[in-house]
Amino acid sequence: MKIVLCCSDGMSTSILVKKMQDAAAERGMDADISAMPVSTLETNAQDADVILLGPQVRYMLKDVKKEFPAKPVEVIAPQDYGMARGSNVLDFALKLAGK
């Protein structure tokens, strides 16, 4: 499963990505989780199963959903993002993917 997190420059999500990778490893899941700036989604997220936006770019939700109509795209809960609750965000991504 490939999960893409995006924010304004791809840096602020790196801690959350690490926590999500740790949570996936603890569960024995094979997950490709990465962070990138929202500006690079068009070229770098074509094979993503789920796209999650950081709260700071929630204003882009409609545009990203339009760009990727066949993929689940949502905004990460601000509390989970701010506290880097990797397990919660992983659960959210799995739910969006129907897994």
Evaluate if pTM is beyond 0.85.
yes
> Catalytic: 7?
yes
CA 72 to chain centre: 10
Those residues whose C-beta lies under 8 Å from the C-beta of residue 36, and which sit 6 or more positions away, are: 4, 5, 6, 10, 44, 45
Question: CATH number of the domain that 25 lies in?
Answer: 3.40.50.2300
Phi, then psi, of 27 in degrees rounded to 5: -90, 0
| Structural domain total, the chain | 1
Region 47-62: mean pLDDT is 96
Question: Does some domain include residue 88?
Answer: no
Question: Does some domain include residue 87?
Answer: no
Task: Spot the catalytic one: 5, 6, 7, 89.
Answer: 7
The parent domain of residue 28 ranges over 2-79
Question: Whats the size of the chain, residue-wise?
Answer: 99
Local confidence band at 11 (pLDDT 50, 70, 90 cut-offs): low
Cβ neighbours of 87 (radius 10 Å): 15
Question: Does some domain include residue 52?
Answer: yes
pLDDT tens per residue across span 65-92: 999 999 999 999 999 999 999 999 999 9
37 has pLDDT over 80? yes
Question: Does some domain include residue 27?
Answer: yes
